[in-house]
Chain A
Amino acid sequence: MAQFTMRVFRGDPSGGGFQDYTVEPEEGMVVLDVIHRIQATQANDLACRWNCKAGKCGSCSAEVNGKPRLMCMTRMDLFQPGDTITVAPIRTFPLIRDLVTDVSYNYEKAKQVPPLRLKPPEPDGTYRMMQEDIDRIQEFHKCIECFLCQDVCHVIRDHEDKKRVFSGPRFFIKLASLDMHPLDTRDRSSFITENAGIGLCNITKCCTEVCPEHIHITDNGIIPLKERAADSLDPIVWLLRRFRGQKSRPA
């Protein structure tokens, strides 16, 4: 089989560029295997993050041929032998070295999310939830925090100044999972519009496209949140709920 040329970004905050390495392909290899091979034999100090190598931990996020992907889930047989494959760090975040970026933005945003506030338990001290109550949220709980959606989201990728006022897709589904929790009692509506900046999202769905867990981030998370925000503007919904004797929002 012909060799692959891997064009890997090497550098640190002071600068850097792409460097070519040639690698012999092997059956079933993924991009992360190739990076490890380069690390073990050609460049001991090539920096990259990884853990599980099975698409479960979300550590090895990178941009392969310009597309945000998990390196451990990108098989080399996606490419033609002889191809040149570029591997770059996720570009939305500050570089630490080579393929490793500083993703602390995401951990800062995580801290701001108003946590769950449960209603009181049943008389026996436990809670009851039906499978149909949680199916929808379990989808969001599949998130492995690889931050590929955060990386690809053009709101912060192309507009650095928006990082201050925008939480990004990962935290919209976090917020959706809390807001749709059958036992939650907290009103997050003003947080979602004012602090998380959902209005900045123009639902162009790149987050959904890159999600390695195939979570319908836009359709099932962000759009329902936008719709929930629109409820307060809809007199028909208001009337219907009055008629049914419900409060328009949980207290």
Chain B
Amino acid sequence: MANADYETHEHDVLVIGAGGAGLRAAIEAAAQGVSVGLVCKSLLGKAHTVMAEGGIAASLGNVWPEDNWQVHFRDTMRGGKMLNNWRMAQLHAQEAPDRVLELERWGALFDRTKDGRILQRDFGGHRYARLAHVGDRTGLEMIRTLQYHGIHQGIDVYMECKVERLLKDGDRVCGAFGYWRNTGKFVFFKAKAIVLATGGVGKAWKVTSNSWEYTGDGHSLALWAGADLIDMEFVQFHPTGMVWPPSVRGILVTEGVRGDGGTLKNTKGERFMFNYIPEFFKGETADNEAEADRWYTDKKNNRRTPDLLPRDEVARAINAEIKGGRGTPHDGVLLDICTRRPADYIRKRLPSMYHQFKELAGVDITKEPMEVGPTCHYIMGGVRVDADTTAATVKGLFAAGEVAGGMHGSNRLGGNSLSDLLVFGRRAGLYAALYAKDFGGPLTVESSQVESLAREMLAPFTRSGGENPYAIQADLQETMQNLVGLIRTEHELREALKRIESLKHRAGRTHIDGGRTYNPGWHMALDLASLLTVAECCTLAALERRESRGGHTRDDHPYTDDAWGKINVVIRQRQGALALSREPLPEMPAELRALFQERK
């Protein structure tokens, strides 16, 4: 049992995570002619990207010729309440169309316009119909396309392999240490450059659309390796997750339902979103049902329905309706598409939603409304990166996708995630490869570092008595759900910190039955470290930001504060302790600032 032997693999670039960003990064790095390893916790093609439904935001202008990168950039910044890293938002808006067309050349089949180009759909916060999509399974199309393109590029894929810690040689990363889930044996990857593409942290919450994989691995790996995290207080609660039956609570209901004509109603039958239009979006949002209804057929002369406000606004509105006693007995509101759209249309546009409700809830969405409520979906915060190169603040470390912070500011628009994966995945792969090529010197790995880590990882097998890791995770999820949820207060956040502290103690006392071969109990025990780390980071950052903005709502500081609008909360680990600081946002150049003035 106490076998600390490990195998070693060596690559120029090691990509951790094989979702959209990781695959795109690996493909790009391989195209640069360096040796690439791709590590993923699950089987290839099962990453969280497959669950993305709605589409990829890109200003192709196929449906609305008026659309261009400037409009997309502006929407993204406004959706993020101007807290985004402007340069990332700019690169994202500029490069997304090329990335989508490239995907098509690699075999993706998006739904088509009448003239044979890529069809685009409406989504919350986007001025124009902008999301390239395939029904409601766009993420699946994207990951399959990247996967099948990737397998012919000479990438070494390490499936069902979990990276536990990054190793450093002086001030730069030199490799990653982890284990094979299948065998429980240890593995060391020596690499000149490492790309983190590990996704998010949603599994720290109880009601979440995220899978078991989302335990904040990349956030923690970066933090432990000395890199900065920013914006960790901004967690997106998707307004529409399933709420009933209990076993499916949290499973995502795509925003495409609303993009394609669905409206939110409370149990009194009111379209309550009209009561929750914030000042910021008044100019472009319909304030009465008649105009909103007309918008579906005549988008030029009417303002858009408030059902398609950015996600943070809609989630808060739903939350308020439920708190106000106008929700369903299962703590949800109603999402109705069957009134506006015929059954055929719904089945064609939203096949997996139809299937999901039919099979899991016994609800036929072509005949009855869906019951939905907010679910933890995405973290805007993450590893602080250089916008152009995706380089983290530690040499040799890069990050792309959900694990990177800054791009989405305080709230992400739907559809901007898939485009983010492609744009910054490619950049991460490119710049990591260039870094690896430039890097001449030798890398030395201290083997004592590795050996002590291995012993630490095996500890849960040998402890006597001890805690059940599943129970600790459940308690953490309960804590985060109740105390660091959609609406936060200082008092509850402090309570959460206390509980996380005690959970950290318990996590140090876990005991595991069985052996090292595919032992999910052991995997869970090891994942607890990162899960607790990110939970603590989120809570600390939420406590620090004394205002409400995007994905961070403080009941005790309910207004948006302009002073906070120029500040990122940065977390780093120094001498084993977490240190917080407030740091100024990068300043947007005048020509981009002008985009926001002329349209007002």
CA of A27 to CA of B109 in the docked complex: distance in angstroms? 38
- Interface members, chain B 98-114 (any A CB < 8 Å): 101, 104-107, 109, 111-112
B116-175: which residues lie under 8 A (CB-CB) from chain A? Answer: 116-117, 134-135, 137, 140-141, 144, 148-149, 151-152, 159
Cβ of B518 < 8 Å from any Cβ of A? yes
A39's partner among B43, B252, B515, B520 (CB-CB below 8 A) is B520
Q: How far is the CA of A126 from the CA of B140 in the complex (A)?
A: 23
Rounded to whole angstroms, the CA-CA distance of A100 and B519 in the bound complex is 10
For the complex, is B514 an interface residue (Cβ under 8 Å from A)? yes
Residues of A contacting B431 in the complex (Cβ-Cβ under 8 angstroms)? none
For the complex of A and B, the 5 pairs showing the least CB-CB separation, nearest first, are: A28-B245, A45-B514, A44-B521, A128-B116, A40-B470
Residue A130 interfacial (CB < 8 Å): yes
Known: A55-B356, A134-B112. A97 touches B137 (CB 8 A): no
Binding site for B on A (CB under 8 A): 12, 26-30, 33, 39-41, 43-59, 73, 75, 96-98, 100, 102-103, 107, 110-111, 113, 115-116, 118, 126-131, 134, 137-138, 141-145, 174, 178, 181
Q: Find out whether the CB atom of B517 lies under 8 angstroms from the CB atom of A12.
A: yes
Q: Is the CB of A57 within 8 A of B50?
A: yes
Once the chains are docked, how many angstroms separate the CA of A30 from the CA of B46? Answer: 20
B211 touches which of A12, A57, A73 (Cβ 8 Å): A57
Q: Given that A40-B471, A40-B474, A141-B144 are contacting pairs, would A56 and B513 also be in contact in the complex, using a CB cutoff of 8 Å?
A: no
A141 contacts which of B45, B105, B134, B159 (Cβ < 8 Å)?
B134
Contact, CB under 8 Å: B247 / A30: yes
Q: Annotate B234-256 by CB proximity to A: 1 below 8 A, 0 otherwise.
A: 00000000001111100110000
Q: Which residue of A lies closest to B116 (CB)?
A: A128
Alpha-carbon gap, A100 to B512, bound state (A): 19
Rounded to whole Å, the gap between the CB of B44 and the closest CB of chain A is: 7
- Interface pair A75/B359, CB less than 8 Å apart: yes
Q: How far is the CB of B518 from chain A (nearest CB, A)?
A: 4
Q: Are B520 and A116 in contact (CB under 8 A)?
A: no
Nearest A residue to B242, CB-CB: A54
Q: How far is the CA of A43 from the CA of B522 in the complex (A)?
A: 12
Q: What residues of chain A lie closer than 8 Å to B141, measured between beta carbons?
A: 141
Please measure, in the bound complex, the distance between the C-alpha atom of A37 and the C-alpha atom of B211, giving whole angstroms: 16
What is the total number of residues of chain B having a CB less than 8 Å from a CB of chain A?
Answer: 64
Q: A44-B512, A45-B520 are in contact. Are A116 and B107 (CB under 8 A)?
A: yes
Which residues of B from 252 to 291 have beta carbons under 8 Å from A? 252
Partner of A54, one of B135, B152, B245, B360: B360
- Give every chain B residue within 8 A of A102 (Cβ-Cβ): 182
B48 to chain A, nearest CB (A): 8
B359 near A44 (CB under 8 angstroms)?
no
Chain B neighbourhood of A44, CB < 8 A: 468-470, 512-514, 519-521, 524
Q: Other CB < 8 Å A-B pairs besides A58-B46, A96-B182, 5 of them?
A: A27-B245, A53-B211, A56-B352, A134-B112, A138-B109
Report Cα–Cα, A110/B135, bound state, in Å. 25
How far is A96 from B51 in the complex, measured between Cα atoms in Å? 26
| Beta-carbon contact of B42 and A51 below 8 Å | yes
Name the distance in Å between B468's Cβ and chain A's nearest Cβ.
Answer: 7
Q: Is B494 an interface residue (CB 8 A)?
A: no
Q: Is B213 an interface residue (CB 8 A)?
A: yes
Taking CB atoms and an 8 Å cut-off, the chain B residues in 204-255 that contact chain A are 211-213, 244-248, 251-252
Contact B107 A46 (CB under 8 A): no
Assess whether B247 is in contact with A52, with CB atoms less than 8 Å apart. Answer: no
Q: Which B residue sits closest to A126, measured CB to CB?
A: B101
B580 within 8 A of A: no
The docked-state distance in angstroms from the alpha carbon of A187 to that of B144 is 22
How many Å from the CB of B192 to the closest CB on chain A?
A: 27
Please tell me if the beta carbons of A33 and B359 are within 8 angstroms of each other in the complex. Answer: no
Q: Are A28 and B42 in contact (CB under 8 A)?
A: no
- A57 and B520 contact, CB distance less than 8 A: no
What are the interface flags for B456-496 relative to A under an 8 Å C-beta threshold, 1 for contact and 0 otherwise? Answer: 00000000000011110010000000000000000000000
Which interface residue of A27, A39, A54, A129 has the most chain B CB atoms within 10 A?
A54
**Could you tell me if A55 and B359 are in contact, using CB atoms closer than 8 angstroms?**
yes
- Tell me, rounded to whole Å, the shortest Cβ–Cβ distance linking A115 to chain B: 6
Q: What are 17 residue pairs bridging A and B, where the CB atoms are less than 8 Å apart in the complex?
A: A12-B517, A30-B247, A40-B468, A40-B470, A45-B521, A47-B519, A48-B520, A50-B212, A51-B48, A52-B51, A56-B51, A57-B50, A115-B152, A131-B111, A137-B109, A174-B148, A181-B107
B51 touches A98 (CB 8 A): no
A57: chain B residues within 8 A (beta carbon):
42, 46, 50-51, 211
- Chain B residue nearest to A118 in the complex (CB): B105
**Partner pick for A103 among B43, B514, B518, CB 8 A cutoff:** B43
**Contact: B42 with A49, CB < 8 Å?**
yes
Instruction: Say yes or no for B445: interface residue by CB 8 A criterion.
Output: no
Measured CA separation A134–B46 after assembly (Å): 24
User: Which of A44, A52, A111 has the most chain B CB atoms inside 10 A of its CB?
Assistant: A44
A47 (CB) vs chain B CBs: closest residue = B518
CA distance A57 to B105 in the complex (A): 24
Residues of A close to B109: CB separation below 8 A: 129, 134, 137-138, 141
Chain A positions within 8 Å of B134 at CB level: 138, 141
Chain B residues closer than 8 Å to A75, beta-carbon distance: 359-360
Interface string of B18-40 (1 = CB under 8 A from A): 00000000000000000000000
User: Across the interface, do A59 and B518 meet the contact criterion of CB distance under 8 Å?
Assistant: no
Residues of B506-533 whose CB lies within 8 A of A: 512-515, 517-522, 524
Residues of A with C-beta under 8 A to B351:
142
* Interface: B115 (CB within 8 A): yes
For A97, list chain B residues within 8 Å (CB). Answer: 517-519
Confirm or deny: B557 has a beta carbon within 8 angstroms of a beta carbon on chain A: no
Give Cα A115 to B469, complex, Å. Answer: 44
- A28-B244, A56-B51, A59-B46 given; A98·B518 CB < 8 A: yes
A231 to chain B, nearest CB (A): 24
Q: Are A53 and B251 closer than 8 Å at their CB atoms?
A: yes
Measured in the bound complex, the distance between the Cα atoms of B117 and A54 in whole Å is 31
The answer to whether B512 and A51 touch across the interface, beta carbons within 8 angstroms, is no
Q: Does B394 contact A (CB under 8 A)?
A: no
Given A47-B520, A54-B51, CB of A59 within 8 Å of CB of B140: no
Report the minimum CB–CB distance from A92 to chain B (whole Å).
16
- The answer to whether B355 has its CB under 8 Å from any CB of chain A is yes
Distance from A172 Cβ to chain B, minimum over Cβ atoms (Å): 15
The answer to whether A49 and B517 touch across the interface, beta carbons within 8 angstroms, is no
Residue in chain B with minimal CB distance to A28: B245
Nearest chain A CB to B520 CB, angstrom units: 6
Residues of B347-372 at the interface with A, using a CB-CB cut-off of 8 Å, are: 351-352, 355-356, 359-361
Which B residues are CB-close (under 8 A) to A178? 107
Q: A51-B211, A73-B359 are in contact. Are A28 and B46 (CB under 8 A)?
A: no
> A28 and B248 in contact (CB under 8 A), knowing A45-B519, A45-B520, A56-B51?
yes
B360 A131 Cβ-Cβ under 8 A? no
- What is the CB-to-nearest-CB distance from B1 to chain A, in angstroms, rounded to a whole number? 13
